[in-house]
Structure 1
Amino acid sequence: MDASSKPAATRRMLIRRHSLPVRLSHWLNVLCMTVLLISGLQIFNAHPSLYWGQYGADNDPSIIAMEAVEDGDAVKGLTRIGSMTFNTTGVLGVSNVDGEPAARGFPAWATLPSYQDLAAGRRWHFFFAWLFVVNGLINLAYGIFARHFRRDLLPTRHELMPAHLGHEIAEHARLRFPKGEAARHYNALQKLTYLLVIFILLPLMIATGLTMSPGFNAAAPWLLDVFGGRQSARTLHFITATALVLFVVVHVAMVLASGFFNNMRSMITGRYAIRVETPMEPKQ
């Protein structure tokens, strides 16, 4: 019996998947993004409407709005997106506060602080925004210095082939994930998604956030022209934040589907378990 025809057994192996700087950056990002989201919803609640252009606050029609309207003796919440209107009473537009319906864009449980306080929301948001930016710059420097981006995130030419990408999409749709040696590295879909988040969504979110700052406008007034005004920047900021929330939801779903404990161990200890085949010696 030659080596290629020997029966194979599998053994469990722990590999090093995430370095300490990557793990620390990841969990700090989790904290920052959580606080940024719920404090951002607090800020949004101060004026729960989005506009496009320079003059949205001057009675121009909103493109997205969460409103409270009277309905007989009751109040109902309506969410409008363009020409479409949805009854979202109890969640968006109108939700319960101390047992009574109250006009709120997002409900109290989704904002920081839970009560309406724009100033407090802004303080939470700005502190963690700068912490998020500093963490991102450190992570970017590490990724370049340690060749993390080139080694782990840059897809190969083969991985970008339509046939390969189509196969990976089909496998993910069937919840079939890489195993064995293939699990040592990110697959093409993971690489492309992380690159999209790191180099497009996050810079866009930061840039639109800065565009909304009158103080920063004085230093870089050209940003207002780039994004078509402060109201357009606010809308793009909201859309980008929504896209990041969707990314996190899908990311967590994939973590659960592909092995929660194994993935969590890799992001806490850096060690990830795979199964590799070892040839079995034939019996004499």
Structure 2
Amino acid sequence: MTKEDKGLPPVKGPLVYRQSIWTRLTHWVWAICLFFLLLSGLQIFNAHPSLYIGKQSGFEFDNSVLSIGAVNTPDGPRGQTTIFGQTFDTTGVLGMSGPAANPSFIGFPGAVTIPSFRDLATGRVLHFFFGWIFVAALFIWFLASFINGHLRRDILPRTGDITGLPRDALDHARLRLHHGRSYTPLQKLSYFAIFFLLFPLIILTGLTMSPGMDAAWPWLLDIFGGRQTARTIHFVVMVLLVLFFVVHIIMVLLAGPLNELRSMITGWYRTSPGTPREQGDKP
């Protein structure tokens, strides 16, 4: 008979101090920045809702990999999205949205852009403003995480994390979530990919689209195969970050939102029963 069956309070693991003040601050700064970067980025994308591979683009080229717009049909105008030559009717979502009596012919609807109306100048100002805050927060996080050991302890994967990945992935798929002192192998590898692959990629491709940066660092164009290819990579990385965010929120809800929020607000995290206690832990 368990303690719960006897009417006794359930056994709890110790509260451990898991997140430093620097990790918590930069986490929330990134959350705010990425929100505005996404919505202002879609505003910028709407100025020319097509993506290309190569150094050139235009009506005379056939190197588009994504195109969002509207077309006239016998039944009236319809929203249309073309991906790698495959065309889809996206009326009401992409290319043509809004009320049937007064539709808006725009790539992404105004509900998911900042500003909600067509204003490329304001979208660019907001995008650059939050982009540089994002970069500054990333620099602060790397410096603090290197000094306090968070980078070595919780982000950089070790041999044991690689070998333990299949089992940890299976546990996550079965919703057998573990609350330990440090991140699980799947978490470590996910955060490693975010910090060392996706974040650098989205920053560098963003710089590659700037004529000023191209003049200062022309090698960026060579690395990414031109400004148009960099724009496409930038968009793909944005999609991957949105997918990561969705999965991240789902896992937070499944793992216990109050415990996860407490960790990112106060730094204290409730571990699973049976976790060995150490000096400084709370009951």
What TM-score results when the alignment is normalised by the length of structure 2?
0.90
What pairs up with 1:270-281 in 2 under 5 angstroms? Answer: 270-277=267-274
CA–CA distance in 2 between the matches of 1:90 and 1:184? Answer: 47
Amino acid at match of 2:17: R
Unpaired segments ≥5 residues, structure 1: 1-8, 279-284
Correspondence for 1:55: 56
Correspondence for 1:74: 76
Correspondence for 2:235: 238
3-state SS, counterpart of residue 91 of structure 1: coil
What pairs up with 1:156-235 in 2 under 5 angstroms? Answer: 156-161=158-163, 164-179=164-179, 183-235=180-232
Question: Greater CA deviation, 53-62 or 232-241?
Answer: 53-62
CA–CA distance in 1 between the matches of 2:239 and 2:125? Answer: 21
Q: Is contact 1:51–1:60 with CA below 8 Å preserved after alignment? A: no
1:242-271 superposed Cα distances (whole Å, 9 cap, x missing partner): 111111111111101111111011111111
3-state SS, counterpart of residue 136 of structure 1: helix
How many angstroms does 1:155 deviate by? 2.6
3-state SS, counterpart of residue 76 of structure 1: strand
Q: Is contact 2:46–2:107 with CA below 8 Å preserved after alignment? A: yes
Q: Is contact 2:13–2:274 with CA below 8 Å preserved after alignment? A: no
Q: Give me the identity figure in percent.
A: 49
Q: Which has the higher strand share?
A: 1
1:74-131 superposed Cα distances (whole Å, 9 cap, x missing partner): 2111111102111111111111169611211101100000001111100000000001
Question: Greater CA deviation, 26-35 or 265-274?
Answer: 265-274
Amino acid at match of 2:205: T
CA–CA distance in 1 between the matches of 2:264 and 2:90? Answer: 37
Amino acid at match of 1:148: H
1:134 correspondence with 2:131: no
CA–CA distance in 2 between the matches of 1:150 and 1:91? Answer: 43
CA–CA distance in 1 between the matches of 2:261 and 2:12? Answer: 21
Question: Greater CA deviation, 166-175 or 108-117?
Answer: 166-175
3-state SS, counterpart of residue 11 of structure 1: coil
Amino acid at match of 1:157: T
1:10 correspondence with 2:7: no
1:30 correspondence with 2:27: no
Amino acid at match of 1:170: L
Q: Is contact 2:67–2:82 with CA below 8 Å preserved after alignment? A: yes
Amino acid at match of 1:60: F
RMSD: 1.6
Q: Is contact 1:75–1:101 with CA below 8 Å preserved after alignment? A: no
Correspondence for 2:3: none
How many angstroms does 1:190 deviate by? 0.4
CA–CA distance in 2 between the matches of 1:93 and 1:33? Answer: 24
How many angstroms does 1:147 deviate by? 1.5
- Are the structure 2 counterparts of residues 55 and 156 from structure 1 closer, same or farther at C-alpha, using a change threshold of 3 Å? closer
1:32-75 superposed Cα distances (whole Å, 9 cap, x missing partner): 00000000000000000001111113532211011101123521
CA–CA distance in 2 between the matches of 1:225 and 1:153? Answer: 30
CA–CA distance in 2 between the matches of 1:112 and 1:138? Answer: 27
Unpaired segments ≥5 residues, structure 2: 1-9, 276-283
1:148-187 superposed Cα distances (whole Å, 9 cap, x missing partner): 11112223322211xx2211111111111014xxx21100
Q: Is contact 2:178–2:272 with CA below 8 Å preserved after alignment? A: no
Correspondence for 1:96: 98
3-state SS, counterpart of residue 47 of structure 1: coil
Amino acid at match of 2:90: T
Amino acid at match of 1:41: L
Q: Is contact 1:95–1:103 with CA below 8 Å preserved after alignment? A: yes
3-state SS, counterpart of residue 97 of structure 2: strand
- Are the structure 2 counterparts of residues 104 and 271 from structure 1 closer, same or farther at C-alpha, using a change threshold of 3 Å? same
